[in-house]
Amino acid sequence: MPRKLWDAVLAGVVALLLFVPLTGVSLSGYTLEGHWQRPLWLAVGVVLGRLLLGWFLERRQRMVGTTRRPGWITAWIDDHRPYIVIAAVIGALLVPWWIGKYWLNVAILALIYVLLGLGLNVVVGLAGLLDLGFVAFYAVGAYTYALGHHYFALSFWAAVPLGAMLAAGFGVVLAFPVLRMHGDYLAIVTLGFGEIIRLILNNWLEVTGGPNGLRVPFPSLFGMDFGRRASPGHVTLHEFLNIPYSNEYRDIFLYLLLFLVVCGMVFLVRRLRRMPLGRNWEALREDEIACRSLGIQPVTVKLSAFGLGAMTAGVGGVFFAASQGFVNPTSFTFLESAHILAIVVLGGMGSTGGVIVAAVVLTVLPEVLRDFAEYRGLLFGCAMVLMMMWRPRGLMGIRRARFHRSEVG
Amino acid sequence: MNAHILLQQLVNGVVLGSVYGLIAVGYTMVYGIIGMINFAHGEVYMIAAYLTAIFLAALTLLGIQSPPVVILMVLILTMAVTALYGWSIERIAYKPLRHSTRLAPLISAIGMSLILQNFVRIAQGARNQGIPTLLDGGVRLMENGPEQFVQITHAQILIVVTAIVSMGALWYLIQGTAMGRACRAVQQDRTMAALLGVDTDRIISVVFVLGASMAAVAGTLVTFNYGSFDFFIGFVTGIKAFTAAVLGGIGSLPGAMLGGLVLGLSESIFSGFVNTDYKDVFAFSLLVLVLIFRPSGLLGHPEVEKV
């Protein structure tokens, strides 16, 4: 007991030394303002936290050797999996008709993050490659639509495949040389690439409009507009269907379209994980040397995961541009990459369901808790560190595809 | 090509390069010893800049005026507290993950970097901060007319001299002391060093402390020179210092210093003769190109992965 107390006191002293200069005073001009209570509270928090941690570690020590039963939540989810999926799909289809314009936009953003999370999950969760510049491919998608429309009158429906291909192309060209080397280099190269793309978009005023951004039109459906009045040579949807005009239709349409894309992505990932390619991703993540000795080509396999991730981000980017009606470089900062990474990490790396839940929660929660917006980055950071300590392999655990027991006998 | 501009950019490049070199040392030592990229290292540099301004203001409030005394005291205080930050970062975010998956420490490092950035933003405010000028004036060389000279400011001289002195001290610590020998042993083979009685956990902590102190020197010097900083400076400077470490050959101390100089010089010349807006793009492209064509860097050894 005295040892634990001693540890906690020591942690408190270190905390005081760390926090007094940075939180005890704040710079105001060339002089200082005192906030003496802040470091004290922080230090008290650290002491309590250290005591709790000691107690927790001791408890875990005692539990070593006893087999851990899966928690009741996991068991319940496992037993009711098909019902949960059906309920989620029906819920997601009903949502847009009720919630009003503001929350509809939040829901569209949430779906975009679900898509991005699923894409990054393939790269980070399944293939075990850390991609810190995911937002670069998102930007490539968004600007493909924006620039394509501005210079070549590209339509939304052409921008989706083109954005996906361009993003995947960038990803493959960037990652191919780097993937031949030690895995960690990929993280820093993607980080650098994310900044390169953002700086170019910001500085190349003549082409991208720089910080002023570009306007993006809303997609049409079979050549029909969603506006109140049709542009020349077009019909509007409400005139065609003979229903009263509402400005929510276009958002509902985008939501449903995105929902379809997300479902397609879930299906794709699900199938891929059972295919040799998906199994190779996970095998490479676990032990690259063993894989090479079994004749798996590490570079091609990793490249396919990275390319698929980049492609998803490209599609997400086109949808983002379409839903905002406007793009500028401030949407593609490193914090955005960190947000998507936080979704994947919190969702439990590798788990599709977890990523979907995390994406929705991390997008809707900041809207509900507006007052805590300032603490968003801090919370993401803490969540990442804590998740790595608590469950480095994901919240739900990795579920492996099993062989089915024979029905006979 | 204007000779004065070229020489001026060379001077600026050496100054910038010493700063990159000081930060790169932290990346290269940590990578050499535990094989991970410490993404939070750039934030350590940013924290040093804030601590510099805070200690400077505190000393001014206490009535200490003499510039050499103030500079030395600020440097020592900043190094001490920053070193403690380096130690705590390792203890909290990396040590518990020593036997975890390969990705875990990297993600934890990204998390730590976000925590530090936002912690400073919340504690000190998001706005740009500054310090008063301590060292002004400089030396003018080759002066022949207005706009026709090469200027070396006193602050720039301070940066280069302090960088050389602290690099020399670090070199002595690593090459000339028992602790340094233990560091080198752990870098070569952690398991073998542990079997021979080296406390590897302690050595890893020492490496983080040394790296953070070097970043603190850089943060203090840059703040004295430019006088202005915000909570986001660690991000770009961190990537650039990492570029310097890779350029010189990651894991090699002289490589970090050389890489810093090469990067600083080429960046200065690029921004002097080509374009200032794209100097970061140039530096990051250099990183990508080095990794593609010479991943072992200028002084590094090719990496062999062992089972």
Q: For the segment A281-308, what is each residue's pLDDT rounded down to a tens digit? A: 888 888 888 888 888 888 889 999 999 9
With CB atoms and an 8 Å threshold, state whether A378 touches B114.
yes
Q: For Cα atoms B4, B10, B15, give the angle at the middle one, nearest 5 degrees.
A: 130
Closest-CA distance of chain A to residue B146, Å: 32
Residue of B nearest to A335 (CA): B114
How far, CA to CA in Å, does A304 sit from each of A160, A276, A278? 20, 12, 10
Per-residue DSSP letters for A71-130?
PHHHHHHHHTHHHHHHHHHHHHHHGGGTSHHHHHHHHHHHHHHHHHHHHHIIIIIIT---
| Nearest chain A residue (CA) to B101 | A392
Measured between beta carbons, the chain B residues lying within 8 angstroms of A192 are: 239, 243, 284, 287-288
Over its C-alpha atoms, chain A yields an Rg (Å, rounded) of 25
- All residues of chain B having their beta carbon less than 8 Å from the beta carbon of residue A184 are 35-37, 106
Residue A56's CB: how many other CB atoms inside 10 A?
Answer: 10
Nearest chain A residue to B229 by CA distance is A27
Phi, psi (rounded to 5 degrees) for B278: -105, 20
Between the alpha carbon of residue A328 and those of residues A147, A213, B160, B232, the distances in Å are 11, 4, 40, 20
Could you read off the pLDDT of A353-390 as tens digits, one per residue?
888 988 998 888 878 877 777 888 888 889 889 888 87
Q: Which residues of B touch A345 (CB under 8 A)?
A: 107
Reference A53, options B95, B40, B192; nearest CA is B95
pLDDT bucket at B133, cuts 50 / 70 / 90: confident
A186/A181 Cα distance (integer angstroms) = 8
Q: CATH second-level architecture of B3-147+154-293? A: Orthogonal Bundle (1.10)
Nearest chain B residue to A393, by CA:
B101
Helix, strand, coil percentages (3-state) for chain A, rounded to 5, are 75, 5, 20
Give the ranges where A275-351 is alpha helix by DSSP (H): 276-286, 288-293, 298-324, 334-346
Residues whose CB falls within 8 Å of the CB of residue A215, separated by 6 or more in sequence, listed in order: A146, A325, A326
B122:A392 CB<8 A? no
CA of A275 vs chain B CAs: smallest distance (Å): 24
ipTM score assigned to the predicted complex? 0.86
Residue in A closest to B46 by C-alpha? A22
Global pTM reads 0.87
Question: Does A341 contact B51 at a Cβ distance shorter than 8 Å?
Answer: no
Residue B179 C-alpha from the chain's centroid = 22
Q: Which amino acid is at A178?
A: V
Using 50, 70 and 90 to split pLDDT, how confident is the model at A120? very high
Candidates A53, A200, A343, A385, partner chain B, best to mutate (most B CBs within 10 A): A385
Count CB-CB contacts under 10 A for residue A139: 30
Sign of CA dihedral B1, B7, B8, B9: positive
Q: Which candidate, A356, A338, A358, A382, places its Cα nearest to that of A190?
A: A338
A26 and B125: CB-CB below 8 Å?
Answer: yes
Q: Can you tell me the distance from the alpha carbon of A103 to that of A100, in angstroms, rounded to the nearest whole number?
A: 6
Q: Which of A150-154, B57-61, B203-207, B227-231 has the highest mean pLDDT?
A: B203-207
The per-residue pLDDT for A236 is 67
Whether A187 and B36 lie within 8 Å, measured CB to CB: no
Residues A118 and A270 sit within 8 Å (Cβ to Cβ): no
Q: Where exactly are the structural domains of chain B?
A: 3-147+154-293
The confidence score (pLDDT) of residue A390 equals 79
A125-129, A173-177, B170-174 — which one is most confidently predicted on average?
A: B170-174
Crossing angle (nearest 10°) for helices B3-34 and B178-188: 80
Determine whether the interchain pair A345/B107 forms a contact, defined as Cβ–Cβ distance below 8 Å: yes
Place of tokens 């602790």: B179
- Number of residues assigned to chain B: 307
The model's confidence at residue A71, banded by pLDDT at 50, 70 and 90, is low
Q: Are B268 and B13 in contact (CB under 8 A)?
A: yes
Do A21 and B36 count as a contact with CB atoms less than 8 A apart? no
Contact A235, A223 (CB under 8 A): yes
Are the beta carbons of A184 and B37 separated by less than 8 Å?
Answer: yes
Only one residue has tokens 């670069």, namely A136
- Average pLDDT over every residue of B25-49: 91
d(CA A298, CA A183): 11
Name all domains of chain A by residue range, CATH numbers in brackets: 2-63 (no CATH), 81-390 (1.10.3470)
DSSP B178-245: HHHHHHHHHHH-HHHHHHTT--HHHHHHHHHHHHHHHHHHHHHHHHHHH-EE-TTHHHHHHHHHHHHH
Chain B residues whose beta carbon lies within 8 Å of the beta carbon of residue A200:
278, 281
Two structure tokens written together for B307: 């089972």
Q: Which of A180-189, B168-177, B239-248 has the lowest mean pLDDT?
A: A180-189
